[in-house]
């Protein structure tokens, strides 16, 4: 009897222990999942808040006017005068390319051998351009020619992901067809290598390798997100010619692919007005950048060809004349003439009243744009334009913009995509209508990072596919590709390319990603310091410097508009609490230190603006640095800030700008190292040992006033 009781008690103790362990494990899993989700939410909220910020400013700096014929461009891109030295040990290419050469290119890039010589790069790109010009806007392919077709999403310069896909799935061949769905470049460090590999296989297997254009196949976007800098860094001598040729190639990439007349593969999405028949017949190469409206060609009484931009707000039908375009080449300007006649002209308008401003704009419209165009003309031997003569220009442009920039949403309807600043959000009803009208059954799109690498929505009629794993940080997300057989049932393959993820436990992986996300979030909070403190003071009528947790969370969301669970994040973001739970908001900001030589003499407003608009500032620096030296003069630096001040409708004194310039010019040689400047102004948390955050999230605020139609500019 005693033995039975003993066993019964032992069993009960074991059951209790098991229940406790199970409860603890469930709580642990729940906490880990909660951390994973809010980390993901932080990354996505901050990334998308930065997408729409500087596109207006940058697109207005770059006004391009192409009238050169294809034959003239081919002469400009000629590679024959470029010699390959005997010491070059990288891959050698002969044309037409063979399979062995394409595979050799993959192996060379995989083994980190010497980069492909610029002569071969230009030759490969020229052959690709010739081929793309023969392709339709919408490729139509079939699974009957191969047992299955593999579709890949965004790669974003992450060569490791492409190599892993080839390792797991096999390289392109007559029996292994691929569709690469755009966004091959930007953000990652190996964008040019990815393009060269894909273009090589496209030339070898033109019927089995297909490439759709993404929203990052756009020279204006490339300026902001790294591809331009990558090419100019790797190919210092011929980088500008390579970029110009890539700009032409991007405009000729097909817009979509249809598989077996049933599956539509495109980069972004659709809208309530998407029409495949219209997309199939428009001149896609006219849309060199989808970020700006097309231009209409008119002829003045003096016989001058006038390019006019169609305003983005089609409901108002406003047309803004940008400049006169002559049909003969103009001489290139010097660096001094650029800085004197472009940024200077732009920034001098700050102190002019409205009446004088309007008259000045009319008188200088041609002179100013001619000066600004000198930046672009160094990349081309003659002027050029993507002018559109068609009366359907605005509708065509909207179709292309929607296709490249749109995202699905759970609600019915179709609304403008204010987050990205282009395209739309479309709902399940729009999907059903579109599929019925075009007799399709599935849309495969990319454009959005997903934690699992893919995501179905709209009753499994829309599949989002993202192939860049570890996109935000190591362990942040998986990559995926899809295989389609004759049954057209998607088979998803997931992966994670970094070997580091295999060495980390789940807890370590989540913790690493969480620290990186919080680092980026702290940077964003500091960039809005003045706005936050001003908002805090409305809840602190007695000026104690203290606010409650509820008020703190409310203020932060009202200023940041990120939709994050701030009360939950309080423990990670705030350590300066009083005994009664109040938050000292002044001390909260003091916890952030600035990694810079000396910021004591720098005006606080200028410093905050630098952090809030750091990516935009760097982009302008790259434009001003016309010789790609990595340095800009003090005068260039001043003009950059004046240009930015007009865009932001803020005024910075010359003294404040000069103090900032002197602080950075440590050796006092009159030049500023761009990379050192951008690296110097980072935030470091005194009380946290944080992982390195990606600078691509250093975006600006979403509430900037748009330039288009602004009489002050």
Q: What is the pLDDT of residue 48?
A: 62
Kindly report the pTM of this predicted structure: 0.75
- H or E stretch including 306? strand 305-310
Q: Which of 467, 449, 307, 275 is nearest to 384 (CA)?
A: 307
Architecture in CATH of 1-64+509-595: Orthogonal Bundle (1.10)
Q: 198 phi and psi, to 5 degrees?
A: -65, -40
Q: Which of 290, 291, 285 is nearest to 132 (CA)?
A: 285
Q: Which of 63, 639, 58 is nearest to 336 (CA)?
A: 639
Cβ atoms within 10 Å, residue 575: 16
Q: What is the pLDDT of residue 329?
A: 32
Distance CA 30, CA 710 (A): 50
Distance CA 67, CA 84 (A): 32
Q: Can you list the positions of beta strands (E) in 80-165?
A: 138-141, 149-152
Could you please report the per-residue DSSP string of 232-248?
Answer: HHH-TTTHHHHHHHHHH
Q: Are 151 and 484 in contact (CB under 8 A)?
A: yes
DSSP state of 154: B
Provide the Cα torsion 551, 35, 41, 564; round to 10°.
Answer: -10
Q: Are 322 and 305 in contact (CB under 8 A)?
A: no
Q: What angle in degrees, to the nearest 10, is found between the helix axes of 191-204 and 118-132?
A: 50
Contact partners, residue 231, CB within 8 Å, separation at least 6: 191, 192, 239, 242, 243, 246
Q: What is the mean pLDDT of each run of 10 residues along the chain (713 residues)?
A: 72 83 80 72 67 55 54 75 90 94 94 88 95 96 85 96 96 95 94 97 96 94 89 90 93 96 97 95 91 62 45 35 30 34 35 39 38 39 45 86 95 89 92 97 96 95 96 88 95 84 63 76 81 88 88 90 82 74 81 54 64 71 70 78 72 76 70 69 42 29 30 35
CATH number of 94-293+403-490: 3.60.21.10
Q: What is the pLDDT of residue 318?
A: 32
Q: What is the pLDDT of residue 693?
A: 30
- Cβ-in-10-Å burial (0-12, 13-18, 19+) of 655 comes to exposed
Q: How far is CA 96 from the centre of its chain?
A: 34
Q: What is the pLDDT of residue 305?
A: 42
Cβ atoms within 10 Å, residue 193: 23
Domains 1-64+509-595 and 94-293+403-490 share a fold: no
Q: What angle in degrees, to the nearest 10, is found between the helix axes of 2-49 and 506-527?
A: 40
Q: Are 479 and 495 in contact (CB under 8 A)?
A: yes
The length of the chain in residues reads 713
Helix and strand counts by DSSP (H, E) for the chain: 27, 25
Q: What is the pLDDT of residue 49?
A: 58
Distance CA 60, CA 220 (A): 10
Cβ atoms within 10 Å, residue 433: 15
Provide the Cα torsion 112, 118, 120, 123; round to 10°.
Answer: 140
Residues taking part in catalysis: 216
Distance CA 385, CA 498 (A): 43
Give all strands of the β-sheet with 319-325 in edge-to-edge order. 295-299, 305-310, 319-325
Give the residue extent of every domain in the chain: 1-64+509-595, 94-293+403-490, 603-689
Q: Does domain 603-689 have CATH number 2.102.10.10?
A: no
Q: How far is CA 157 from the centre of its chain?
A: 11
Distance CA 347, CA 371 (A): 13
Q: Which of 634, 676, 679 is nearest to 658 (CA)?
A: 634
Distance CA 480, CA 465 (A): 7
Distance CA 148, CA 260 (A): 11
């Amino acid at each position: 009897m005693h033995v039975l009781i003993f066993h019964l008690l032992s069993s009960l103790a074991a059951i209790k222990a098991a229940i406790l362990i199970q409860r603890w494990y469930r709580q642990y899993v729940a906490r880990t999942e909660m951390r994973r989700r809010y980390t993901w939410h932080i990354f996505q909220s901050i990334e998308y808040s930065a997408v729409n910020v500087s596109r207006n400013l940058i697109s207005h700096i770059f006004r391009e006017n192409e009238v050169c014929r294809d034959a003239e461009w081919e002469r400009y891109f000629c590679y024959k005068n470029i010699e390959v030295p005997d010491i070059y040990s990288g891959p050698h290419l002969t044309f037409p390319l063979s399979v062995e050469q394409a595979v050799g290119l993959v192996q060379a890039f995989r083994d980190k051998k010497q980069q492909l010589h610029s002569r071969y790069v230009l030759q490969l790109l020229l052959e690709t351009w010739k081929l793309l010009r023969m392709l339709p806007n919408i490729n139509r392919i079939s699974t009957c020619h191969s047992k299955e077709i593999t579709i890949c999403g965004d790669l974003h310069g992450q060569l490791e992901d492409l190599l892993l896909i080839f390792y797991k799935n096999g390289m392109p061949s007559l029996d292994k067809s691929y569709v690469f769905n755009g966004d091959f470049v930007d953000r990652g460090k190996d964008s040019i290598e990815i393009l060269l590999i894909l273009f090589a296989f496209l030339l070898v297997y033109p019927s089995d390798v297909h490439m759709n254009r993404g929203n990052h196949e756009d020279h204006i976007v490339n300026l902001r997100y790294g591809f331009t800098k990558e090419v100019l860094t790797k190919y210092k001598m011929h980088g500008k010619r390579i970029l110009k040729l890539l700009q032409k190639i991007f405009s000729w990439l097909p817009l979509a692919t249809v598989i077996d007349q049933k599956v539509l593969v495109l980069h972004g999405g659709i809208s309530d007005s998407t029409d495949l028949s219209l997309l199939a017949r428009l001149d896609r190469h006219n849309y060199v950048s989808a970020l700006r409206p097309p231009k209409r060609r008119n002829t003045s009484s003096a016989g001058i060809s006038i390019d006019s931009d169609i305003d983005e707000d089609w409901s108002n039908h406003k047309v803004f004349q940008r400049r006169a375009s002559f049909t003969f080449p103009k001489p290139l300007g010097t660096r001094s003439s650029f800085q004197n006649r472009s940024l200077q002209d732009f920034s001098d308008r700050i102190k002019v009243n409205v009446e004088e401003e309007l008259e000045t704009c009319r008188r200088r419209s041609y002179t100013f744009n001619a000066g600004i165009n000198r930046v672009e003309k160094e990349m081309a031997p003659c002027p050029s334009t993507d002018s559109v003569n068609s009366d359907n220009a605005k509708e065509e442009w909207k179709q292309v913009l929607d296709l490249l920039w749109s995202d699905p949403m759970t609600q019915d309807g179709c609304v403008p995509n204010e987050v990205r600043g282009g395209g739309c959000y479309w709902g399940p009803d729009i999907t059903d209508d579109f599929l019925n009208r075009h007799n399709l059954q599935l849309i495969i799109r990319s454009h959005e990072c997903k934690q699992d690498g893919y995501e179905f929505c709209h009753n499994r009629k829309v599949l989002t596919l993202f192939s860049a794993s570890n996109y935000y940080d190591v362990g942040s997300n998986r990559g995926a590709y899809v295989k389609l057989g004759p049954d057209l049932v998607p088979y998803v393959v997931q992966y994670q390319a970094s070997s580091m993820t295999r060495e980390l436990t789940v807890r370590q992986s989540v913790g690493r990603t969480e620290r990186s996300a919080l680092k980026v979030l702290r940077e964003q909070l500091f960039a809005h310091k003045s706005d936050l403190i001003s908002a805090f003071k409305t809840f602190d009528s007695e000026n104690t410097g203290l606010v409650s947790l509820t008020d703190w969370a409310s203020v932060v969301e009202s200023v940041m508009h990120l939709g994050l669970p701030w009360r939950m994040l309080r423990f990670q973001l705030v350590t300066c609490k009083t005994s009664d739970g109040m938050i000292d908001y002044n001390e909260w900001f003091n916890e952030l230190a600035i990694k810079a030589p000396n910021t004591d003499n720098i005006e606080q407003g200028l410093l905050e603006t630098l952090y809030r608009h750091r990516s935009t500032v760097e982009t302008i620096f790259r434009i001003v640095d016309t010789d790609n030296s990595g340095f800009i003069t003090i005068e260039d630096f001043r003009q950059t800030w004046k240009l930015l001040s007009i865009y932001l409708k803020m005024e910075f004194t010359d003294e404040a700008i000069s103090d900032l310039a002197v602080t950075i010019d440590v050796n006092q040689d009159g030049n500023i190292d761009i990379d050192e400047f951008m690296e110097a102004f980072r935030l470091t948390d005194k009380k946290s040992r944080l992982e390195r955050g990606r600078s691509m999230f250093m975006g600006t605020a979403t509430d900037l006033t748009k330039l288009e139609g602004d009489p002050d500019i």
